[in-house]
């Protein structure tokens, strides 16, 4: 079973995404980028759903760190964002994200977009 890390500081988003995905994927709900990096020492996911706006380390900083490390640079990242700002989308894609999913997300669209990219 493929593994997905869901990284978001919002507990409701973590629970919702985990509930939508857990029948098809092994999911890990992770409340911060720092905890994600701790998990990456033990587990390599097939995909990371990464929130952009998080305290301490945001998604843009986290993807820069992921992409600069030989062991994590090839893990696909899809950003989760509440922002409709096209500048944010452009920056995220230029940093190596493969897609964007807007929050609040629609469960069947979340699943479809992940299935297309994993």
Q: How confident is the prediction for the chain on average, in pLDDT?
A: 93
CA 49 to each of CA 54, 78: distance values in angstroms, whole numbers, following the listed order: 13, 5
23-49: burial string, b at 16+ Cβ within 10 Å, e else: eebebbbbbbbeebbeebeeeebbbbb
Q: For the chain, what is the domain count? A: 1
Can you give the pTM of this predicted structure?
Answer: 0.95
How many Cβ atoms from other residues are within 10 Å of residue 64's Cβ? 13
Read off the CATH number of the domain in which 107 is found.
3.40.50.2300
Mean local confidence (pLDDT), 65-79 = 97
Q: Domain residues for 65?
A: 3-117
The residue among 89, 86, 118 whose CA lies nearest residue 21 is 118
pLDDT in tens, 21-71: 999 999 999 999 999 999 999 999 999 999 999 999 999 999 999 999 999
Place of tokens 């720092």: 34
């Amino acid at each position: 079973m493929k593994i997905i890390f869901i990284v978001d500081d919002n507990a409701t988003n973590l629970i919702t995404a985990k509930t939508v995905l857990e029948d098809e994927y092994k999911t890990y709900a992770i409340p911060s980028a720092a905890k994600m990096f701790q998990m990456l020492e033990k587990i390599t996911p097939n995909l990371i759903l990464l929130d952009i706006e998080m305290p301490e380390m945001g998604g843009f900083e986290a993807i820069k760190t992921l992409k600069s490390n030989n062991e994590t640079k090839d893990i696909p990242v899809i950003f989760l964002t509440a922002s409709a700002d096209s500048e944010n989308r452009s920056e995220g894609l230029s940093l190596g994200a493969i897609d964007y999913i807007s929050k609040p997300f629609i469960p069947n669209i979340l699943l479809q977009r992940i299935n297309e990219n994993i």
